A and B are shown apart, each in its own frame.
Chain A
Amino acid sequence: MATRASSANAYLLVPIVLMAALLGTAVIRGPSLITESGIGSAVIVAAPVILATYALMVLAVAGRGTVDLAVGPLLAFINVVIVKLSTAEILSSPIATFIVAIGLGMLYQLLFALIVIWVRVQPIIVALSGFLALTGINLVILPRPGGVAPEFMMSWGAGTTIFSPVLVILVVATLSWYLFTASTFYTNLKMMGYDERAAWTSGVRTDVVRIGAHLIAGVYVGLGAICYTALISSGDPTQGQSMTLTAITALVLGGVALSGGRGGVTGALLGAVSLWLIGYVLATFNFGAIQAFMTQMVYGIILVLSLLLTLLVPVIARYVSFISPWSAFLVLGVIVLSIMMQVGTFDTYAEVAPVAVEAATSERYFLIEPARVAADGFRISPVQAFALIAGLGAIAIVLAARLVDAESGARKMGPFLYLFVAAMLIALFVAIIVQPDSSLFGVPK
């Protein structure tokens, strides 16, 4: 095969491995994550950061070293405006809220794009300018945290179910990016980010593409602000700076190139979720008063380390060409999902006592009576049991490895793997949601 796994995808290896390790640790350290409310609140807490990271990702792909430092303050700005309007009882309907949030995000980003295109200053300076201006104006609009979110959002932030509207927003935002990647516009965007001059000389209308990228980022920020408002159910003008820093960290963790041309929603999602997991894992250790400092330090160290790892990616990709990021995702996903299922279902079910089969029953079904070692079933010794499981495991591993190797050349997973992952996910959901009152796996305790 001439082209093995594409190099852009190889950068996903680091976030995938990181996320698998973190998820495994998180589940073992804090089993409450594997409950309906655990996952539900995780989705709600992580959603604003994930969407802010998406926005940063789009801009990073657009190139020119665009890191919109103002993404956090912009999110806080929209949050504060919504809350201010809703407290004044001007804004109450969901549609109006969405229009205001997304409109403000797009308006700011449009302005950003126009300044970059016409005034031709470096994007980082526009971002810096926007950061300072928005941080200031946020405190003017709402001097201290408070206010009420629109009525319809009140139930969103409860986090008792997995399928909250926030999850819908998140899924729609993610899926629409995948739809977007099928368009020519996306190709032009990537090309422009990678080499703007080449794109321009080959006839791409870079101005239009840049404006488009900024508008998409604006939509993501608007959605992020809505999720954030739902999360805190009020307005908070002060969290902008930390939101920016978190989102940038997530962006880097996700393997998106700040130099432009490389990045996608997958990496950004993995990065943001990993970041949230770091916080979760750290929270399960009890550091007492120094908890916040510990989190800060670990954030910093992981940020630098993951940057160093991206240096190693080309080297890794050269030697580890037999496994594609998708296969790694699959294998690690299976491991992590089995850990999750083990933890989620641990101690939930009573051991079912073996039922002795009457001889008469078997005689009714079989013409020839089956050969039997003993009267009460097929007995094997522990050594035999181990050998049997080991043998089955070996066959499974060989099959999986064969499959993985076959898939490693592909850019996308084959349908079988999709099915496999889907089955695993469904099993997990069944285990989590249905388990308390079901006898699917046995009698609940």
Chain B
Amino acid sequence: MTERSDTRGRVSVLPMPKSIALVWLNIGLSLVVAAIGLGVGFAQEVSAQRVILFTILTATVLFLLLNYIVAAFEANAAARAEETEDEQEERSGRTRKLWRNNRVLIIAMAGLLVLYLLLTAAIPEFRSIKNLIGFLVLELILLFAFKVSGQFASGRSAFIGLIVLFALIVISAFSIEGFLSGPNIKAILLFAAFLGIASVGQTMVALLGGLDLSIPFVIGSSNIALLFLITLGVPSFVAFGFILVLGGIVGLFNGIMSYRLQGQALIVTLGSGFALAGFTQIMTSIGSQFAGNVFGTVPKWLSNLAAMNGKFIGMNFPPTIAIWIIIAIVMIIGLRTTAWGRNLYALGGNRRSASLIGVSEFKYWVGCYTISGVFAALTGSLLLGWSGGAFIGVGDPYLFTTLAAVVIGGTSLLGGNGGYGFTVIGVLVLQVLTSFLQGIGLQYEWQQFIFGLLILPMVALYGRSPHIRATV
């Protein structure tokens, strides 16, 4: 046969297994695979010459590869046979260590591979080059996340977040037409800006080890209260400022209450949020037939601020994005460099030490909640400009997405770790993912499902608490 003589000619440069049985086994395997290829080729009605050519090539290449592998294994086995017992033990220890260090990575990658193969086998539409690229990118992310990010001690979560963000953009750009077009990017950034502004407070509160679940209710309430005030005839700027102040007052109340009730922040903020949403709706629906709905016209400047066709100093994007960028820069620099920001981290890291060096726990705690209230009210007002109509439920999606953005970004809910920069990454990941999922035609409920499943592995990569035996 041609291929055998072919390979025999190159014995000198290519490794050959010493055992003749193995050589025959390899030949057999190669021939079987080549025969399958031959059959499939004829079944697909490819021209005969090409089928024969491919069959020969397949058999040859496969045989060479198998030989290479077998020879390598043989050499290893020979070396091992010469080793002393001690060396063998050391080697097995090393293998075990390698396995122990990488088992999560290996299991995750294998799991992903199995999933991909299963999907490919089950769904015919799934077999496309785009999905293959997507799969390879995911495996690469895993590899990066586990192996490379370990080198970055402090910014590990940010690094992972950025890789995920980058990979998402690559996959989306491949699979969705017009993903990188101007309007789509503008839309992503606009929604990211809303979520980002709403998450400012959540980030700061999380840095102290608290939670603020009143954000969605403050957003909804400020949304309808602002339009209500405007329809009452209050000058829109005054109303806008007034709403921000009201948001701050709600935050102040939350802060004081949750400081007194340590560890119950979740319930306190939930309760005050309920009360606020109910109260606002009662106030706005007194004397109105349409309880809970406020009708009116949104002032021009407000809708320009947040609507998709808004203009910012002549440039063609809504000013909300610029506002968010400014807030983000101020927050990131402020938290890093000012004494206020450093004290915040100190308090989150270790309360006792921080209060011993004279940092007032109460002031910072209440301050963070107040800021959270103000920014939630700001988001609600901006959302009024975006939608043009008031609706109490406008804040509902923000109940857990602000938390998700903070957590995915890498700010620990236990306090002391993270920052607004991380949250920005988390917000962008969430928004790009949303856009991607919408682009491939998934409904809202599937998006939510995937968000839920995404949070766990992201947090598991960097937010694990020590085993109890390490804390005793």
The answer to whether B275 and A139 have CB atoms under 8 Å apart is no
Interface of B, helix, strand, loop or mixed by DSSP: helix
Check: B239 CB closer than 8 A to any chain A CB.
no
The answer to whether A121 and B456 have CB atoms under 8 Å apart is yes
The answer to whether A249 and B468 have CB atoms under 8 Å apart is no
List, in ascending order, chain B residues with CB within 8 A of A129's CB: 452-453, 455-456
Contact partner, A307, options B268, B281, B285, Cβ 8 Å: B268
Check: A126 CB closer than 8 A to any chain B CB.
yes
The answer to whether B291 and A136 have CB atoms under 8 Å apart is no
How many Å lie between the Cα of A287 and that of B266 in the bound state? 30
List, in ascending order, chain A residues with CB within 8 A of B8's CB: none
5 pairs from A and B in contact (CB 8 Å cutoff): A119-B456, A132-B404, A132-B452, A300-B274, A311-B261
Check: A99 CB closer than 8 A to any chain B CB.
no
Check: B400 CB closer than 8 A to any chain A CB.
yes
How many Å lie between the Cα of A293 and that of B275 in the bound state? 9
The answer to whether A307 and B455 have CB atoms under 8 Å apart is no
Question: At the interface with chain A, which of B110-118, B155-163, B459-467?
Answer: B459-467
Binary CB contact string for chain A from 192 to 235 against chain B (1 if under 8 A, 0 otherwise): 00001100110000100000000000000000000000000000
How many Å lie between the Cα of A246 and that of B277 in the bound state? 15
Contact partner, A304, options B271, B456, B459, Cβ 8 Å: B271
Whole-angstrom distance from the CB of A265 to the nearest CB of chain B? 20
List, in ascending order, chain A residues with CB within 8 A of B292's CB: 289, 292-293
The answer to whether A307 and B267 have CB atoms under 8 Å apart is yes
The answer to whether B275 and A122 have CB atoms under 8 Å apart is no
The answer to whether B452 and A136 have CB atoms under 8 Å apart is yes
* Residue in chain B with minimal CB distance to A307: B261
Whole-angstrom distance from the CB of A117 to the nearest CB of chain B? 10
Q: Interface size of A by Cβ–Cβ distance < 8 Å?
A: 56
Whole-angstrom distance from the CB of A305 to the nearest CB of chain B? 9
Check: B472 CB closer than 8 A to any chain A CB.
yes
* Residue in chain A with minimal CB distance to B451: A132
Where the two chains meet, the residues of B that have a C-beta atom closer than 8 Å to any C-beta of A are 211, 257, 260-261, 263-264, 266-268, 270-279, 281-282, 285-286, 289, 291-292, 399-400, 403-404, 407, 413-414, 443-453, 455-456, 459-460, 463-469, 471-472
How many Å lie between the Cα of A241 and that of B449 in the bound state? 15
How many Å lie between the Cα of A143 and that of B277 in the bound state? 27
* Residue in chain A with minimal CB distance to B401: A132
A282-329 at interface with B (beta carbon < 8 Å):
288-290, 292-304, 307-308, 311
Whole-angstrom distance from the CB of A203 to the nearest CB of chain B? 12
Whole-angstrom distance from the CB of B439 to the nearest CB of chain A? 18
The answer to whether A301 and B285 have CB atoms under 8 Å apart is no
* Residue in chain B with minimal CB distance to A293: B281
* Residue in chain B with minimal CB distance to A252: B267
* Residue in chain A with minimal CB distance to B274: A300
Contact partner, A131, options B444, B446, B452, Cβ 8 Å: B452
How many Å lie between the Cα of A241 and that of B263 in the bound state? 22
Check: A397 CB closer than 8 A to any chain B CB.
no
List, in ascending order, chain B residues with CB within 8 A of A135's CB: 445, 448, 452
**Given A122-B413, A311-B260, A133-B448 contact (CB < 8 Å):** yes
How many Å lie between the Cα of A67 and that of B289 in the bound state? 39
The answer to whether A125 and B261 have CB atoms under 8 Å apart is no
How many Å lie between the Cα of A248 and that of B281 in the bound state? 23
List, in ascending order, chain A residues with CB within 8 A of B278's CB: 293-300
Contact partner, B400, options A119, A122, A131, A297, Cβ 8 Å: A131
Check: A140 CB closer than 8 A to any chain B CB.
yes
The answer to whether B263 and A125 have CB atoms under 8 Å apart is no
List, in ascending order, chain B residues with CB within 8 A of A248's CB: 266-267, 270
How many Å lie between the Cα of A206 and that of B472 in the bound state? 14
Check: A137 CB closer than 8 A to any chain B CB.
yes
How many Å lie between the Cα of A363 and that of B385 in the bound state? 95
The answer to whether A299 and B274 have CB atoms under 8 Å apart is yes
Check: A96 CB closer than 8 A to any chain B CB.
no
List, in ascending order, chain B residues with CB within 8 A of A140's CB: 443, 445-446, 449
* Residue in chain B with minimal CB distance to A130: B452
How many Å lie between the Cα of A132 and that of B274 in the bound state? 20
Check: A413 CB closer than 8 A to any chain B CB.
no
Given A140-B449, A301-B275, 13 new contacts (CB under 8 A): A121-B456, A132-B404, A132-B451, A133-B452, A135-B448, A197-B472, A206-B468, A293-B277, A299-B278, A301-B271, A303-B274, A308-B257, A311-B261
Please name the 5 residue pairs, one residue from A and one from B, whose CB atoms are nearest each other, closest first: A297-B278, A133-B452, A300-B274, A300-B275, A136-B449
How many Å lie between the Cα of A300 and that of B456 in the bound state? 30
Whole-angstrom distance from the CB of B402 to the nearest CB of chain A? 11
The answer to whether B414 and A133 have CB atoms under 8 Å apart is no
Binary CB contact string for chain A from 261 to 294 against chain B (1 if under 8 A, 0 otherwise): 0000000000000000000000000001110111
The answer to whether A258 and B267 have CB atoms under 8 Å apart is yes
Whole-angstrom distance from the CB of A239 to the nearest CB of chain B? 14
How many Å lie between the Cα of A433 and that of B11 in the bound state? 99
How many Å lie between the Cα of A175 and that of B278 in the bound state? 37
**Given A245-B270, A290-B291, A121-B403 contact (CB < 8 Å):** no
**Given A136-B445, A200-B469, A119-B451 contact (CB < 8 Å):** no
**Given A119-B464, A296-B277, A128-B404 contact (CB < 8 Å):** yes
List, in ascending order, chain A residues with CB within 8 A of B263's CB: 65, 258-259
Whole-angstrom distance from the CB of A202 to the nearest CB of chain B? 11
How many Å lie between the Cα of A327 and that of B340 in the bound state? 52
Whole-angstrom distance from the CB of A143 to the nearest CB of chain B? 8
